[in-house]
């Protein structure tokens, strides 16, 4: 296990370096000036001044200037939002994306595994067909349609949920013990009030995030439903299940205690990439609900050729993706001791 | 799974029985599922009610959706309409603009004296002008901001070149910042309240410029923290972080309280503002909304008082429904096609568009009516002129004839004759040129299709459409790497020259590569002419040349599109989208 972890951790910097260089090259050769923000060309002396300011006078200068800075947590200034640093955009946007993506993944896993299990247990019966329909819809309805419909019905027609209003700063309150606000309250007024302030932010968060999270969860939920169903059917037919039943254990106990643990393995391996895809693919849902997450900056930075922001978002997402994959591999070994992640 | 399924009967009865059982099972399963979820749902409903009550209290006195995401509030770099709009709420230049007449009125300055030769402007500041931190506004604040504009040039630095010695100083500073002497520039701080500006030549719109965001003052003390000195050259620049709250100090009716990207700005009335008593709304929310349909929905629910610039499609649809709250009125810009006038095309072939007769033939064979009727749909006026009809005293030149359904045969005969004279009778031998447009706005493609179809039908020439991504479009347009391109221009200040300057031979914005000595001479003569009327006549002569020579083919004049109800006051419908924020208010029944 330790050997495996060490091996992976040594790979990380190499992978990140390769990603950095490729992203940089693509961003640098893409046509269009990152400095020119409107349709009007900038005077040569203005361009020169900006190039100096962004350390972008030459490609090698730019390529070499930023990596050491990034290690220090400085991603440079944004081209498209003069006066804002990329680090600031990332630290503002990433918690929002995580808050939204986290809820979406929770919904997808809970409901997906539940429906998938029921579909396997009641294979070939009406419930199975219902689950198939849900899965089919989840896969085939694009998230911008689902998001727009949810918004139109539940936020506009029936004003149950807020219409494009993200409570400012909710994500920092939500991250709780990880965010400074929690510690500020702790210092000022004690543990209980810090805890209650933290818990109190949940309703507001759910209120704002539920609709977009549902829209975002449909696709992974569909996959998880089908994955759970297939592997559950497989497990239900195995000998130990019959033994357990013969021993006199109740059916729900057998299904949810003994079968699910094994049936969930393929689902687990899907969660890593799904979580990453949810974070990266939140662009559409963030636009439909006007949520200040990182997904919008990820896409917009490419459109505006904001080279520092492109590199910042790509590197952040890369670290997240690598981390999530590692986490899944570790969890895999933990759930199924037969699998040795040590490779030996 | 393990249920017994021994046949207890046969035929239809059993089938029905089984199906029933299955359906029943499914129903029970789903009911159980809902039962499990009912608790959370009931809880959630209570929670959403509480949360929505908490959120509803946050509403500002006035809420509007800005045209797009505000990129920067650094006066050196502001160039988008939405940036400039917020700029007007936060700052006040020496002069300001009247929202109804667009005439310059005293702002941070109480008065100005103009010398007889119209080249010296002596401004006297108000003695009660204050920054949002309580400091007094002084002439040094203006001198500091304007000097920074030359030393750390930005998008609109070229507007400062009307000031004596400014351009020379900008270049000198770039060459050797230590040797450059700011005293050579016509910006003189006579006393903390008196500022003397000397111009290169008479500039009848200088007070208008003095109201424009690049000419806003800056509070030097608040920028000190963000000063960066280049260790090698000693050049000074300022980190843009000074524009973020709570760092930003401004001298206008509002101060910047909060600013979050993708959310918007929260503005609070500046208690130190000299005219604080006239400020109508204590708080203003300027929202950033990327999805125009979301914007409209928020407006329909009453969350928003004003949509500043909705899309043409939404405005047209609302108008067709007979809605009175959509306001469409003339704008300060023109939609046109740009011709590349170089001798050679980018691929090295001979450029037929270099021949003025070809350009004239192309211009005369377009019927603009289907464009404004079917594509833009907002009653835009078809254009055969470049300068929009928003300058009352301007002697409008004569445009080339437009197809209007009545005299089509004559005009078309003329156009075909011109094309034949240029060597392409009936379109024969005309090379396969491309019409370039950017694809982020669907209307550009629809218009290009109409234009290509008409040229095919009227002149017999076949052109292909070339839709490309916006950044690539900009690069190719400015690099003259195209044959025919969609283009547009909006004016910056209240003078015809904001349009005509674009086609000066040496202008950075001259995308047509069209150079005409006579045109340039008329523009220079207009700059030197102190008499306003004669000056406009010179500019009109220049535009007449441009219209005859057709480096551009005007299509229609833009319109502005606001959505707002009668409960909103203080938002005038002027072509330049100028809003005086201290007058803006909305009454809410809630």
- Does residue B123 carry a pLDDT above 90? yes
pLDDT-derived band at B52, boundaries 50, 70, 90: low
Q: From residue B587, give the alpha-carbon distance in Å to each of B60, B264, B566, B570, B571.
A: 12, 22, 9, 12, 14
What is the per-residue pLDDT for A174?
A: 66
| 8 Å CB contact of B55 and A162 | yes
Which residue, among A31, A114, A115, A234, would best test binding to B if mutated, counting the most B CBs under 10 Å from its CB?
A31
B501–chain A Cβ distance below 8 A for any pair:
no
Task: Find the closest chain B residue to A284 by CA distance.
Answer: B291
What is the per-residue pLDDT for B256?
A: 97
Q: Quick one: which of A119, A117, A137 has its CA closest to A128?
A: A119
Q: Are B508 and B479 in contact (CB under 8 A)?
A: no
- To the nearest whole Å, the CA of B472 is away from the closest chain A CA by 5
Spatial separation of the C-alpha atoms in residues A99 and B376, rounded to whole Å: 41
Spatial separation of the C-alpha atoms in residues A16 and B513, rounded to whole Å: 45
Spatial separation of the C-alpha atoms in residues B137 and B128, rounded to whole Å: 8
Q: Are strands B62-65 and B306-308 parallel, antiparallel or unpaired?
A: parallel
What is the per-residue pLDDT for B590?
A: 54
Q: Which of residues 203-232 of B touch A (CB under 8 A)?
A: 230
Q: Quick one: which of B73, B559, B526, B26 has its CA closest to B312?
A: B559
pLDDT-derived band at B431, boundaries 50, 70, 90: very high
Q: Quick one: which of A315, A243, A322 has its CA closest to A21?
A: A315
A288–chain B Cβ distance below 8 A for any pair:
yes
- Residue A216: strand pairing partners: none
Q: What are phi and psi of A254, to 5 degrees?
A: -65, -45
Spatial separation of the C-alpha atoms in residues A108 and A175, rounded to whole Å: 20
Of B1, B23, B241, the CB nearest to A123: B1
| 8 Å CB contact of B294 and A164 | yes
Q: Quick one: which of B363, B344, B341 has its CA closest to B354?
A: B341
pLDDT-derived band at B389, boundaries 50, 70, 90: very high
Q: Are B368 and B383 in contact (CB under 8 A)?
A: yes
Spatial separation of the C-alpha atoms in residues A338 and A336, rounded to whole Å: 5
Mean pLDDT throughout B20-37?
A: 43
DSSP of B153-175, one letter per residue? --TTGGGGGGBTTHHHHHHHHHH
pLDDT less than 70: residues of chain A: 172-183, 339-344
| Residue A101, Ramachandran bin (φ over 0: left; ψ between -120 and 50: alpha; else beta) | alpha
Indicate the helix (H) or strand (E) that contains B27.
helix B12-56
What is the per-residue pLDDT for B14?
A: 37
DSSP of B545-590, one letter per residue? HHHHH-SEEEEEEEEEEEEE-TTEES----TT----GGG-EE----
DSSP code, position A168: T
Give B52's contacts in chain A (Cβ within 8 Å).
162, 207
Query: Which three-class secondary structure state does DSSP give residue B359?
Result: helix
Which residue intervals of B248-311 are DSSP H helices? 292-300
Q: Which of residues 71-130 of A touch B (CB under 8 A)?
A: 77, 80-85, 89, 92-93, 114, 118, 121-123, 125-127, 130
Q: Which two tokens stand for residue A204?
A: 């507001």
What is the per-residue pLDDT for A65?
A: 87
pLDDT digits (tens, 9 = 90+) for A269-306: 888 888 878 877 788 999 999 999 998 898 889 888 99
Spatial separation of the C-alpha atoms in residues B434 and B451, rounded to whole Å: 12
Q: Are B484 and B436 in contact (CB under 8 A)?
A: yes
Q: Which two tokens stand for residue B295?
A: 């914007």
Lowest mean pLDDT among A267-281, B39-53, B217-231, B554-568: B39-53
Of A45, A53, A126, the CB nearest to B170: A45
Complex ipTM > 0.90: no
What is the per-residue pLDDT for A108?
A: 94
Q: Are B353 and B511 in contact (CB under 8 A)?
A: no
- Does residue B6 carry a pLDDT above 70? no
| 8 Å CB contact of A82 and B52 | no
DSSP code, position B384: S
DSSP of A39-73, one letter per residue? SSPPPHHHHHHHHHHTT-SSHHHHHHHHHHHHHTT
pLDDT digits (tens, 9 = 90+) for B228-259: 898 888 888 898 899 999 999 999 999 999 99
Owner of token pair 């974070």: A279
């Amino acid at each position: 296990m330790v050997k495996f972890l060490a091996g992976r951790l040594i790979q990380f910097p190499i992978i990140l370096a390769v990603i950095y260089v490729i992203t940089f090259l693509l961003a640098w050769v893409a046509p269009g000036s990152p400095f020119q923000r409107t349709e009007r060309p900038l005077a040569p002396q203005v361009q020169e001044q900006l190039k100096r300011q962004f350390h972008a006078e030459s490609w090698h200068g730019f390529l070499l200037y930023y990596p050491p800075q990034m290690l220090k947590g400085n991603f440079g200034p944004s081209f498209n939002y003069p006066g804002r640093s990329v680090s600031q955009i990332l630290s503002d946007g990433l918690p929002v994306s995580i808050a939204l993506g986290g809820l979406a993944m929770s919904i997808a896993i809970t409901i997906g595994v539940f429906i998938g299990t029921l579909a396997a247990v009641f294979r070939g019966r009406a419930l199975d067909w219902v689950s198939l329909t849900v899965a089919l819809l989840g896969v085939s309805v694009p998230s911008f349609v689902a998001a727009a419909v949810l918004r139109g019905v539940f936020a506009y027609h029936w004003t149950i949920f807020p219409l494009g209003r993200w409570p400012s700063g909710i994500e920092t309150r939500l991250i709780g013990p990880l965010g400074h606000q929690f510690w500020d309250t702790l210092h000022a007024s004690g543990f209980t009030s810090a805890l209650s302030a933290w818990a109190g932010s949940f309703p507001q968060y759910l209120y704002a995030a539920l609709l977009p999270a549902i829209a975002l969860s449909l696709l992974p939920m569909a996959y998880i439903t089908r994955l759970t169903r297939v592997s559950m059917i497989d497990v239900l037919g195995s000998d130990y299940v019959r033994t357990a039943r013969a021993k006199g254990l109740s059916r729900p106990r057998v299904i949810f205690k003994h079968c699910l643990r094994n049936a969930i393995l393929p689902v687990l391996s899907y969660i890593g990439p799904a979580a990453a895809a949810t974070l990266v693919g939140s662009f559409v849902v963030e636009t439909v609900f006007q949520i200040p997450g990182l997904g919008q900056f990820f896409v917009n930075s490419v459109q505006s050729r904001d080279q520092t922001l492109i590199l910042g978002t790509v590197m952040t997402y890369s670290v997240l993706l690598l981390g999530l994959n590692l986490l899944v591999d570790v969890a895999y070994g933990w759930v199924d001791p037969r699998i040795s992640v040590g490779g030996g | 799974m393990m249920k017994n399924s021994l046949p207890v009967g046969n035929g239809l009865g059993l089938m029905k029985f089984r199906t029933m059982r299955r359906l029943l099972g499914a129903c029970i399963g789903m009911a159980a599922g809902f039962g499990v979820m009912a608790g959370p749902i009931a809880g959630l409903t209570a929670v959403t009610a509480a949360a929505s009550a908490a959120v509803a209290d946050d509403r500002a006195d006035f809420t509007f959706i800005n045209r797009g995401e505000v990129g920067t509030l650094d006066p050196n770099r502001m160039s988008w309409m939405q940036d400039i709009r917020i700029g007007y709420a936060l700052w006040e230049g020496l002069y300001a603009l009247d929202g109804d007449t667009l005439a310059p009125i005293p702002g941070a300055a109480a008065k100005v004296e103009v010398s007889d030769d119209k080249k010296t402007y002596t401004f006297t500041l108000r003695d009660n002008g204050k920054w949002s931190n309580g400091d007094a506004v002084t002439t040094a604040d203006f001198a500091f901001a304007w000097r920074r504009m030359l030393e750390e040039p930005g998008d609109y630095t070229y507007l400062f070149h009307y000031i004596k010695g400014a351009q020379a100083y900008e270049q000198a500073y770039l060459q050797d910042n230590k040797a450059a002497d700011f005293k050579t520039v016509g910006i003189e701080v006579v006393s903390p309240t008196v500022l003397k500006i000397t111009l290169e030549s008479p500039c009848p719109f200088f007070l208008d410029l003095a109201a424009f965001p690049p000419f806003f003052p800056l509070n030097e003390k608040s920028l000190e923290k963000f000063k960066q000195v280049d260790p090698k050259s000693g050049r000074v620049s300022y980190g843009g972080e000074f524009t973020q709250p709570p760092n930003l100090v401004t001298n206008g009716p509002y101060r910047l309280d909060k600013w979050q990207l993708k959310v918007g700005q929260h503005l609070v009335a500046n208690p130190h503002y000299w005219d604080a008593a006239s400020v109508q709304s204590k708080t203003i929310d300027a929202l950033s909304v990327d999805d125009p349909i979301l914007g409209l929905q928020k407006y329909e629910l009453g969350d928003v008082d004003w949509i500043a610039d909705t899309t043409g499609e939404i405005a047209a649809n609302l108008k067709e429904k007979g809605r009175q709250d959509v306001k469409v009125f003339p704008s300060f810009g023109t939609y046109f096609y740009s011709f590349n006038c170089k001798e050679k095309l980018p691929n090295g072939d001979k450029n037929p568009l270099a021949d003025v007769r070809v350009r004239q033939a192309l211009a005369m064979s377009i019927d603009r009516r289907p464009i404004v009727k079917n594509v833009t749909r907002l009653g835009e006026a078809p254009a055969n002129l470049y300068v929009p009809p928003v300058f009352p005293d301007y002697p409008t030149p004569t445009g080339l004839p437009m197809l209007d359904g009545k005299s089509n045969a004559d005009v078309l005969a003329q156009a075909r004759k011109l094309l034949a004279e240029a060597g392409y009778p009936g379109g024969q031998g005309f090379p396969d040129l491309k019409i370039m447009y950017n694809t982020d706005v669907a209307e550009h493609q629809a218009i290009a299709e109409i234009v290509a179809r008409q040229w095919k039908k009227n002149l017999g020439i076949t052109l292909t459409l070339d839709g490309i991504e916006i950044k690539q479009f900009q690069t190719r347009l400015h690099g003259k790497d195209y044959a025919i391109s969609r283009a547009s221009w909006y004016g910056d200040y209240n003078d015809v020259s904001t349009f005509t300057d674009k086609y000066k031979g040496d202008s950075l914005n001259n995308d047509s590569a069209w150079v005409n000595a006579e045109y340039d001479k008329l523009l220079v003569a207009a700059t030197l002419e102190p008499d306003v009327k004669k000056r406009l006549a010179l500019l009109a002569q220049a535009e007449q040349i441009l219209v005859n020579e057709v480096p551009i083919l005007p299509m229609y004049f833009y319109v502005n599109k606001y959505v707002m109800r009668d409960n909103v006051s203080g938002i005038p419908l002027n072509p330049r989208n100028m809003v005086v924020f201290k007058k803006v208010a909305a009454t809410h029944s809630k």
